[in-house]
Amino acid sequence: MCEEKEARAAVLAATRGMLEHRLTSGTSGNVSARLDGGTIVITPSGLPYQDMGPGDLVVITMAGEPVTPGAGGLAPSSEYQLHTACYQAFPEVAAVLHSHPLYASMFAAARQPVPAVIDEAVIFLGGEIPVSPYAISGSARVGTNAVSVLARRASALLASHGLVTVASSPAQALHYAVVSEHCAQVAWGAQALGGHVPLPAATLDTFGEAYRRARGGLS
């Protein structure tokens, strides 16, 4: 992702997808894409998604310094440090999506990882969805804590908060976030039915390796 106009459209489309898939509501959650030159384009703070246009998105540096404010001087999402931390830690990541889906948030509140109960969890997410340690919303620590568990996973739970997903594009981040919420719901249901049957080790190895290859940038 490098061309700014395309990146703005892709970020906006992903925000609309978050609403359609009920991954978030109101003004919560945020989406960004990496641009050339060490900057990112990110959703603004406090603007409902249904009212958001491409000109409302904000361009900032990795240090959070404003490059292009949103229309009318809109500031970047208060969680921008979660996004910049992911880009700085993982050069292969080109999009970050933070959401508050119901079932994933239940696991985040219980501070329990979402187990890899179905093949899709391994193919698209790399395996179980880990829990990153708690940090207060809007702090730099949310980012550093998330990075500590995202090296080999597409999604992480933010303890007592929600979900963060990294990918190669905003559309892929949306897809992975939808898969994450689906896995959390299936895991919850499987627990109610007496517990899931663990996937075979060969499945975890084969599909886990496929995820790592597809993601790139991993040793």
Residues that bind Zn ion (CB under 5 A): 162
Minimum gap (Å) between residue 66 Cβ and Zn ion: 21
Q: Between residues 17 and 162, which has the closer beta carbon with respect to Zn ion?
A: 162
Q: Between residues 162 and 170, which has the closer beta carbon with respect to Zn ion?
A: 162
Rounded to whole angstroms, the Cα distance separating 161 from 65 reads 25
Minimum gap (Å) between residue 212 Cβ and Zn ion: 27
Residue 163 parent element (H or E): strand 162-167
Rounded to whole angstroms, the Cα distance separating 72 from 162 reads 29
The amino acid sitting at 156 is A
Q: Between residues 30 and 39, which has the closer beta carbon with respect to Zn ion?
A: 30
Give the C-alpha distances (Å, rounded to integers) separating 175 from 58, 96, 163, 181, 210. Answer: 23, 12, 13, 10, 17
| Residue 81: closest CA among 93, 92, 68, 96 | 96
Minimum gap (Å) between residue 146 Cβ and Zn ion: 11
Minimum gap (Å) between residue 179 Cβ and Zn ion: 19
Q: Which residue is nearest to Zn ion (CB)?
A: 162
Q: Between residues 130 and 162, which has the closer beta carbon with respect to Zn ion?
A: 162
